[in-house]
Amino acid sequence: MNRQQKEKVIEGLREDLLKSQATFIVDYKGLSVAQMQKLRSELRQKGGSLKVAKARLMKLAVDDEPGVSDMAPYLKEQIGLVFSDEQFSDVAKVLSDFSKENKSLGLVAGLFESQILGKERISQIASLPPKEVLLAQLCRTLNAPTSGLVRSLNMIILKLLFALKQVGEQKK
């Protein structure tokens, strides 16, 4: 690889780091080509992408970049960067599930909103339900007081009707 090609790789990695919502560092040592293709396919379906380059080029890409320079200590040996543009929890779930199926894939660290995430934190994020489910739970929680008030008011009216009905039966 000549100097110009290396500069292109560094610039591409830097752009991906800055535009992605979350970035995960994975150790892919020992994965076969078929396993890597399967991982890339699953990541693409969830809005993620896996980039592999020399660790030295990755370190150059994160140098002097605010918010991502904290990743430098994790960029060693045979690692890849997984970028997530949209649903980072879905991408984390794919990585977590794939690492359970294939022991060769290891989660090293992650970066979300300029904060480094450890393996445990990535696993917690992966265990979160999808965004749609969380939004439905939020709507249900916000709707609960209103629906409770409506039921209470409805019961007051029903009690009044039952009382009037009993008064009417007693007068007959």
DSSP symbols for 61-90: HHTT-TTTGGGGGG--SSEEEEEESS-HHH
Look up the CATH architecture of domain 3-128: 2-Layer Sandwich (3.30)
CB contact at 8 A, 84 and 47? yes
pLDDT band at 37 (very low <50, low <70, confident <90, very high): very high
Q: Give the CA count within 13 Å in the CB-facing half-sphere of 116.
A: 14
Q: Give the single-character DSSP code of 29.
A: T
The average pLDDT across 84-110 equals 86
Banded pLDDT at 53 (limits 50, 70, 90) = confident
pLDDT bucket at 38, cuts 50 / 70 / 90? very high
* Residues 103-121: b if buried by 16+ CB within 10 A, e if exposed: eebbbbbbbbeeeebeeeb
- Encode pLDDT of 120-142 as tens digits: 888 888 888 877 888 898 998 98
Please name the helix (run of DSSP H) or strand (run of DSSP E) that holds residue 119, with its range, or none. Answer: helix 119-126
User: Which residues are within 8 A (CB) of 132 and not within 5 positions of it... i.e. 6 or more apart?
Assistant: none
- Distance CA(129)–CA(125), nearest Å, equals 9
Whole-prediction pTM value? 0.73
Judged against a pLDDT cut of 80, whether residue 32 lies above it is answered with yes
List, in order, residues 6 or more apart from 8 with CB less than 8 Å away.
none
Residue 86: pLDDT over 80:
no
